[in-house]
């Protein structure tokens, strides 16, 4: 499906199949919806799963750019994309007909923040949202990607990211040989490459340009979703992995405290890439807490 969003962007929403009420999967920065297909497959007897590609990621183009060097990134527009995708899923109805108010969603990192924005804008859309280490920071304090040491400088790392390879196989072999992706579930890694690159004169090229990823990290602390948390009435399960001192794991409990209808869950056996390393465990987590 293609869901109309702001700035004349049509958000691509992938239907992964299954049976039961609908589940919307919302991806992290630099990734795309298909990276969560193994989670959907593990839930296909309980949910009809969908996943969106945020603008500039996967098959959804960047917003209204005037040229190749227009790299403006506004996280509120990611919220627009989440609203558009959720409404499209509700309209589609999954296998259950009218599902407004019973849509379940899972958001990872950036995708968790965008789902919270969507829940604030349209409180009737979701029944339950499960979010893993969402990027929702208070107005003051540490931001992801700032400074040396902990957390890693995500912005500089994204700008150094290799954008092209000779082939899909070359890209897959590269990622499988170095952290963090060498720890990913093999199906997740294969899907990330197969749907995260497109053919190009160089061989294959990342769909999410490294500069777009860098700008997304760079602006992750600028949106004001933190201030809106007390107004979000949707049931939310906030999950965090191992504490790393700074970054999204450290602030997850604070997010849950500010939400009026939230449950906080600590799973220290996971790091921030947990959904990619342990997709079956995250499928169980979603199923357990979305009922």
The per-residue pLDDT for range 84-117, each reduced to its tens digit, is: 999 999 987 644 545 556 899 999 999 999 999 9
Tokens encoding 171: 């890209």
Which pLDDT score, from 0 to 100, does residue 20 have? 92
User: In sequence order, what are the residues at sequence separation of 6 or more whose Cβ sits closer than 8 angstroms to the Cβ of residue 64?
Assistant: 7, 8, 9
Three-class DSSP category at 80? helix
Quote the Cα angle for 28-129-26, to 5°. 25
In this prediction the pTM is 0.93
User: Is the per-residue pLDDT at 256 higher than 70?
Assistant: yes
Tokens encoding 6: 């702001």
Which pLDDT score, from 0 to 100, does residue 139 have? 85
Widest CA span of the chain, in angstroms? 51
User: In sequence order, what are the residues at sequence separation of 6 or more whose Cβ sits closer than 8 angstroms to the Cβ of residue 108?
Assistant: 26, 27, 28, 31, 36, 131, 132, 133, 275
Alpha-carbon distance of 135 to 225, in angstroms, equals 9
Residue recorded with tokens 């860098």: 214
Alpha-carbon distance of 100 to 124, in angstroms, equals 7
């Amino acid at each position: 499906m293609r869901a109309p969003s702001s700035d004349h962007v049509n958000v691509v929403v992938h239907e992964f199949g299954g049976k039961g009420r609908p589940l919307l999967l919302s991806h992290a920065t630099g990734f795309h919806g298909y990276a969560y297909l193994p989670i959907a497959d593990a839930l296909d007897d309980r949910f009809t799963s969908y996943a969106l590609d945020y603008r500039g990621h996967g098959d959804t183009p960047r917003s209204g750019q005037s040229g190749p060097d227009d790299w403006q990134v506004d996280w509120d527009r990611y919220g627009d994309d989440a609203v558009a995708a959720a409404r499209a899923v509700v309209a589609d109805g999954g296998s259950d007909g009218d599902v407004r108010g019973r849509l379940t969603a899972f958001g990872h990192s950036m995708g968790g923040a965008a789902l919270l924005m969507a829940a604030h804008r349209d409180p009737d859309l979701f029944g339950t949202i499960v979010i893993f280490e969402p990027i929702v920071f208070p107005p003051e304090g540490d931001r992801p990607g700032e400074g040396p040491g902990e957390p890693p400088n995500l912005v500089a790392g994204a700008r150094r990211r290799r954008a092209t390879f000779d082939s899909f196989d070359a890209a897959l072999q590269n990622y499988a040989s170095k952290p963090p992706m060498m720890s990913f579930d093999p199906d997740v890694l294969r899907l990330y490459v197969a749907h995260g690159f497109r053919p190009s004169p160089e061989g294959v090229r990342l769909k999410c340009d490294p500069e777009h990823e860098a700008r997304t990290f760079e602006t992750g602390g600028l949106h004001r979703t933190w201030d809106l948390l007390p107004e979000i009435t949707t049931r939310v399960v906030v999950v965090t992995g191992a504490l790393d001192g700074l970054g999204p794991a450290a602030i997850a409990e604070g997010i849950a405290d500010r939400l009026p209808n939230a449950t906080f869950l600590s799973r220290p056996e996971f790091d921030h890439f947990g959904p990619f390393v342990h997709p079956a465990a995250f499928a169980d987590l979603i199923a357990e807490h979305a009922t």
